[in-house]
Every structure is written in structure tokens, then in C-alpha cells.
A = this chain, B = another copy of it.
Amino acid sequence: MDRPTLISDKWRAGYAAQRLAEFTARCRRRGLAITPQRVAVMRVLVNSGDHPRAETVFAEVRRQYPNISLATVHRTLETLCEIGEARKVTPLHDSARYDGNTAPHHHVVCVRCRKVCDIDAPEFNRLLHGRRTLGDFELLGCSVEVHALCGECRKAAAANA
């Protein structure tokens, strides 16, 4: 069946090992230096079942590298996102975006300029199929964020290529 399931710690442990094993090769391929700080940030992130903030990663990495700078952690996390080794849980975070539409609906977000449009998709409103819980969580609702390139950004991207 296709029910949603929480990803298990066991799965994550295997996944993390795999990712870390490939990490140095991937950095080299991208022309990035393999520094102990970079590896440490990557390790903490990929081992975390949580979705940590920069500050949290900093606290953890610091135990092994007491001299690491918070700025380095921020820079490294951004770098990891740029090369596709990590992602932000939300692409919209610099400032809060508010939505006056309280009817159930979803969003399409331009990954380049971050424009957001509302979409109506009854099918998306039925994703939970009436399920009330998932593991320890009591489910309340869900929202779908479709990632896309808007018309303008599509043109801009084509022009740059």
C-alpha cells in the first residue's frame, strides 16, 4: 500500500552512511575543497532525523571543532544546498509571507523569484484519506507546494543559457 509512513531511524542511518561515503567524491567533482569543517557539517546534517537550524548544527559541530565559526556553518549549509547535497525545508524563509485566503488551497512557487500563486486542486485536499494520526502525530491538514519556474524566470533562464 501507499500509505504515508514516517521514515525510520534505521533507514536514515544507512542512508547517511551512503551519503557520507560519496561526499568527498562529490565535492571533488564540484571543485570544492574537502575541509574538516565542511565534512563535519555535512555529517551532522545528514545524520539528523530532525531538520536543524544553522545554530543547532553549529552547537553540534562545535563539540568536535570548538573553533568553528557560526558564519562557516551558515555558509556551508548554503553551499550544500547550492550543490544539491541538502535542501531547505522551505524555499521561502527570508521573510514571512501571508495569505488572506483561508479556503483550502495550495501553492505553486517559483524557485527562482519566489513568486507564489494559489492553486485549487480538490485531489490535494484528499491526500490524508481521513487518516487521523501518523506515528505520534495527530494530523490536522496538509498543503502542497508545487515547485516551478514562472513565465518570466523561464525566459530569463533561457536568455542566460
Q: A97-B53, A116-B50, A137-B108 are in contact. Are A142 and B144 (CB under 8 A)?
A: yes
Q: How large is the interface on A (under 10, 10 to 19, 20 to 34, 35 or more residues)?
A: 35 or more
Q: A46-B100, A51-B116, A89-B116 are in contact. Are A137 and B151 (CB under 8 A)?
A: yes
Please measure, in the bound complex, the distance between the C-alpha atom of A89 and the C-alpha atom of B101, giving whole angstroms. 10
Contact B4 A117 (CB under 8 A): no
Give per-residue flags for A1-12: 1 if the beta carbon is below 8 A from chain B beta carbons, else 0. Answer: 011111100001
Enumerate chain B residues within 8 angstroms of A136, measured Cβ to Cβ. Answer: 150-151, 154
Contact A77 B89 (CB under 8 A): no
Query: Dominant SS at the A interface?
Result: mixed
Contact B87 A102 (CB under 8 A): yes
The listed residue (B92, B110, B115, B140) touching A149 by CB distance below 8 A is B140
Please measure, in the bound complex, the distance between the C-alpha atom of A46 and the C-alpha atom of B78, giving whole angstroms. 33
Contact B87 A99 (CB under 8 A): yes
Residue A66 lies at the interface, judged by CB distance under 8 Å to chain B = no
Contact A2 B102 (CB under 8 A): no
Write 25 A-B pairs (CB below 8 A) sorted by A numbering.
Answer: A2-B121, A4-B123, A6-B117, A7-B105, A7-B119, A15-B101, A45-B99, A53-B95, A53-B98, A54-B96, A77-B96, A80-B98, A87-B98, A87-B102, A88-B97, A89-B92, A90-B97, A92-B93, A117-B135, A124-B127, A136-B150, A139-B146, A141-B146, A143-B144, A143-B147
